[in-house]
């Protein structure tokens, strides 16, 4: 192990610094029990590079240096000192200029990831003893990577956790703003309110999402998106409650009418046909539908595991497509709740190509009444389109 103690001072006019002494101490620290994979250490360092203040170009130079180290693992021996010439290192770094190499090597030394073992004249080389074995090696010592491998792995794990949190916060903000935007679009056609202010607020937050934000800013943005969505829901709540009341009254009226019809016993054939239709099982498994039309899942925070879940989500989504409560009720009455929900999921998936969703749903409802209707062909068409995109 004496090879590591050739020199701890830099060649030429470079002074000894506190950072250099700290790196020296790390290099001389006890090695871990196992020899880490050098490329795994490099991958972890790539993930955690912000914590060490190094760039991707610094890492490219480090990768070139690691390629001069024999073997795959960083064992605690004298092979940890590599001594390529500037020309050889430049070749491994894809032709990087020597002045640029020196700058990135200095950055790696300052970060405490490399240690210089300078010769008396500053050159990098190895000498052999009388038996032909390596006697002294002057170059770059990789031992800090060995002794700090566990620290680097921990920093990489923390960086991955931060990125995961940021990704989830961004997804949350995107979904809330999308919900707010669609509700605003629907509200403009249904309710008189200051939709311009809400729309401007939504657009402002959407523009902010385009920037690269840290965790704190993303969390703040997600909270503001939720506040905006709550404001939009507060505006449309009275209208939706009124619609629900009207629907309930209409439902009670239908129940009363059905009772009277049942007592006088006309139209029994129609009632039997509707009962048979409502009792039919969906023609396609739920998992296949969700694979063909996954956009409906964006509106189900707890997921869709049953047909009841799908029906519940569709009852929330249909106004966003511009479908009136009357058109939706007719679709459910004539298709059945599950079939209507399947149809809506397929329509949502193709929302950018359906000009008038309300009219389109009414035409499908009429088809269900007269000649029968199944959403199966719609699902199969979406699956074929997904397969073509995958190719």
Percentage, residues of the chain above pLDDT 90: 27
Number of domains in the chain: 3
The answer to the question of residue 155 being in a domain is: no
Provide the pLDDT for residue 256: 42
Provide the pLDDT for residue 66: 93
Q: Which domain holds residue 280?
A: 268-391
Residues 287 and 365 in one domain: yes
* pLDDT tier at 8, thresholds 50, 70, 90: low
Provide the pLDDT for residue 247: 45
Residues 124 and 209 in one domain: no
Domain boundary among 244, 266, 288: 266
Residues 258 and 275 in one domain: no
Lowest mean pLDDT among 178-192, 211-225, 321-335: 178-192
| Two tokens, residue 245 | 């009341």
| Two tokens, residue 306 | 């049953």
The answer to the question of residue 158 being in a domain is: no
Provide the pLDDT for residue 254: 42
Residues 24 and 55 in one domain: yes
Dist. CA 4–CA 45, nearest whole Å: 23
Closest CA to 317 of 328, 303, 330: 328
Q: Which pLDDT tens digit goes with each residue over 41-92?
A: 999 999 999 999 999 899 999 999 999 998 899 988 878 888 888 888 888 8
The answer to the question of residue 362 being in a domain is: yes
Average of per-residue pLDDT values in the chain = 79
The answer to the question of residue 154 being in a domain is: no
Beta bridge partners of 125: 138
The answer to the question of residue 317 being in a domain is: yes
Contacts of 308 (CB under 8 A, 6+ apart): none
Residues 222 and 290 in one domain: no
Q: Each residue of 86-122: b (16+ CB within 10 Å) or e?
A: eeebbebbeebeeeebeebbebbbbbbbbbbbbbeee
Residues 254 and 309 in one domain: no
The answer to the question of residue 377 being in a domain is: yes
Contacts of 26 (CB under 8 A, 6+ apart): 112, 144, 147, 148
The answer to the question of residue 156 being in a domain is: no
Provide the pLDDT for residue 255: 45
Question: DSSP character for 80?
Answer: G
CATH assignment at residue 80 = 1.10.10
Domain boundary among 225, 240, 266: 266
pTM of the model as a whole: 0.52
Q: Which pLDDT tens digit goes with each residue over 254-295?
A: 444 444 433 434 444 444 444 444 434 566 788 888 988 998
Residues 10 and 108 in one domain: yes
Residues 140 and 168 in one domain: no
Residues 176 and 101 in one domain: no
Residues 224 and 346 in one domain: no
End-to-end CA distance of the chain: 56
Domain boundary among 210, 237, 266: 266
Beta-carbon neighbour count of residue 229 at 10 Å?
Answer: 21
Residue of higher predicted confidence among 271 and 199: 199
Residues 248 and 351 in one domain: no
- Please say if the pLDDT value at position 229 is more than 50: yes
Q: Which pLDDT tens digit goes with each residue over 295-336?
A: 888 888 788 999 999 999 898 888 888 888 899 999 999 999
Provide the pLDDT for residue 328: 94
Residues 23 and 141 in one domain: yes
The answer to the question of residue 254 being in a domain is: yes
Provide the pLDDT for residue 181: 87
- Please say if the pLDDT value at position 252 is more than 50: no
Beta bridge partners of 37: 73
């Amino acid at each position: 192990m004496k090879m590591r103690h050739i020199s701890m001072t830099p060649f030429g006019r470079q002074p000894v610094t506190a950072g250099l002494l700290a790196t020296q101490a790390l290099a001389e620290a006890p090695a871990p029990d196992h020899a880490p994979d050098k490329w795994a250490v490099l991958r972890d360092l790539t993930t955690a590079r912000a914590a060490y203040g190094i760039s991707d170009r610094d890492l490219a130079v480090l990768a070139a240096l690691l390629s001069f180290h024999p073997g795959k693992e960083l064992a605690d021996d004298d092979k940890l000192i590599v001594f390529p010439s500037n020309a050889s290192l430049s070749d491994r770094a894809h032709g990087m200029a020597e002045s640029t190499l020196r700058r990135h090597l200095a950055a790696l030394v300052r970060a405490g990831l490399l240690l210089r073992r300078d010769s008396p004249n500053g050159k990098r080389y190895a000498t052999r003893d009388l038996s032909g074995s390596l006697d002294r090696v002057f170059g770059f010592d990789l031992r800090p990577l060995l002794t700090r491998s566990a620290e680097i792995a921990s920093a990489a794990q923390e960086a991955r956790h931060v990125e995961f949190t940021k990704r989830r916060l961004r997804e949350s903000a995107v979904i809330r703003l999308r919900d707010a935007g669609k509700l605003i679009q629907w509200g403009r056609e249904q309710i008189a309110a200051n939709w311009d202010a809400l729309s401007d607020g939504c657009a402002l937050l959407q523009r902010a999402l385009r920037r690269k934000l840290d965790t704190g800013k993303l969390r703040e943005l997600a909270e503001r998106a939720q506040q905006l969505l709550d404001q939009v829901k507060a505006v449309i709540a009275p209208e939706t409650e009124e619609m629900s009341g009207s629907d309930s009254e209409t439902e009670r009226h239908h129940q009363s009418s059905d009772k009277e019809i049942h007592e006088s016993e006309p139209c029994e054939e129609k009632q039997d046909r509707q009962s048979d239709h409502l009792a039919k099982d969906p023609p396609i498994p739920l998992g296949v539908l969700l694979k063909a039309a996954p956009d409906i899942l964006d509106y189900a925070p707890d997921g869709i595991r049953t047909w009841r879940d799908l029906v519940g989500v569709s009852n929330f989504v249909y106004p966003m497509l511009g479908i009136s409560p009357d058109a939706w009720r007719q679709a459910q009455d004539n298709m059945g709740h599950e079939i209507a929900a399947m149809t809506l999921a397929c329509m949502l998936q193709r929302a950018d190509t359906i000009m008038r969703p309300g009219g389109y749903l009414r035409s499908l409802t009429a088809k269900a009444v007269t000649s029968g209707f199944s959403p199966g062909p719609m699902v199969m068409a979406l699956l074929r389109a997904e397969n073509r995109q995958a190719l």
